[in-house]
Amino acid sequence: AEVYLNGKWLKPDEAFISVFDRAFMFGDGIYEVTLFYKGKGFRLKEHLKRLQYSLDQIQIAFDAFSLENLMLEAIDRADLNNADAAVYIQVSRGAGPRSHFIPEKIKTTILLYAFPVALEGFENKTWEVMATEDKRWHRCDIKSTALLANVMANEEAIAAGFHENLLVRKGYFTEGSHSSLFFVKYGVVHTHPEGPEILSGITRAEVIKICTDLNIKVIEKAVHIDELVEVEEVFVTGTTTQIIPISSITHKDKTVYTTRKDSLTKKLQQVFIKRTR
């Protein structure tokens, strides 16, 4: 498969960026991951809108919507119209002499490529997760390539045999290291409100919409770790995650939650599959 880099389609091992690229030196860039179900793009406009928001927030002047046709082309060129696939987009501030201020006249580095994803059977999975302190910065609404805290959190979980790490800030769950997070308490769906402490997930928004359509009440309010005794179901969502129920949560080597039910999560999965495929 080919990658798109700054106006050219190239073989991956022939695509190079400068060692002075600011995404390489500072994590000074923005990214998106978008899904194509058998060639059918999922909420592309919403992804591009979020990309534009992130770019605007860090003052990279670039029109995110100019990438739409290239995304479709990436799927075509990788011959992924009949498979489940994702398109990765990265907009870096570009290359310039290393400085903490943003150099003038800097040219963005645009990278985009498609790759296959294995989504088949996601609805049969359950994840055992751990929970640790959320050590990320206070602008998690920006989809920045500076993902070191996410990487460290996820690695800690994977190394200990878990599937994901749920992040906790001042006692309240924010989201997963690479997923949005939902709780069901007394039949009501709870999720952290949008704002600087979480990424505004595209799958999250879809799940909220499904709940609304099904007359399931959603409260956008953070859940405290001490509230887990009242929680019936926990699930995570994301572009590559879809909707996966959490079977247990381990915090400081203690199991603080095990599944009590899964009926609401199963219902949401079914409707999500119907609406997206």
Active site residues: 143
CA angle 70, 74, 78 (to 5 degrees): 165
> Quick one: which of 52, 57, 240, 259 contacts ligand PDD (CB under 6 A)?
240
Q: Report which DSSP code applies to 154.
A: H
Q: Quick check: 179 binds ligand PDD (CB under 6 A)?
A: yes
Least distance from ligand PDD to the Cβ atom of residue 179, Å: 5
Q: Quick check: 245 binds ligand PDD (CB under 6 A)?
A: no
Least distance from ligand PDD to the Cβ atom of residue 4, Å: 18
Q: Quick check: 199 binds ligand PDD (CB under 6 A)?
A: yes
Q: Quick check: 55 binds ligand PDD (CB under 6 A)?
A: no
Nearer to ligand PDD, 32 or 233 (CB): 32
Cα dihedral 155, 157, 162, 167, rounded to 10, equals -130
Nearer to ligand PDD, 65 or 137 (CB): 137
| Distance from C-alpha of 124 to C-alpha of 204, rounded to nearest angstrom | 19
**93: exposed, middle or buried (C-beta count within 10 Å: 0-12, 13-18, 19+)?**
buried
Q: Residue 188 corresponds to which tokens in the numbers above?
A: 């009501």
Least distance from ligand PDD to the Cβ atom of residue 246, Å: 15
Least distance from ligand PDD to the Cβ atom of residue 221, Å: 18
Nearer to ligand PDD, 42 or 96 (CB): 42
Q: Quick check: 191 binds ligand PDD (CB under 6 A)?
A: no
Radius of gyration of the chain (CA): 19
Q: Quick check: 204 binds ligand PDD (CB under 6 A)?
A: yes
Nearer to ligand PDD, 78 or 89 (CB): 89
| Distance from C-alpha of 37 to C-alpha of 81, rounded to nearest angstrom | 8
Distances (CA, A) of 89 to 48, 57, 78: 10, 17, 15
**11: exposed, middle or buried (C-beta count within 10 Å: 0-12, 13-18, 19+)?**
exposed
Q: Quick check: 28 binds ligand PDD (CB under 6 A)?
A: no
Report the interface residues with ligand PDD, using CB under 6 A.
33, 150, 175, 178-180, 199, 201-204, 237-241
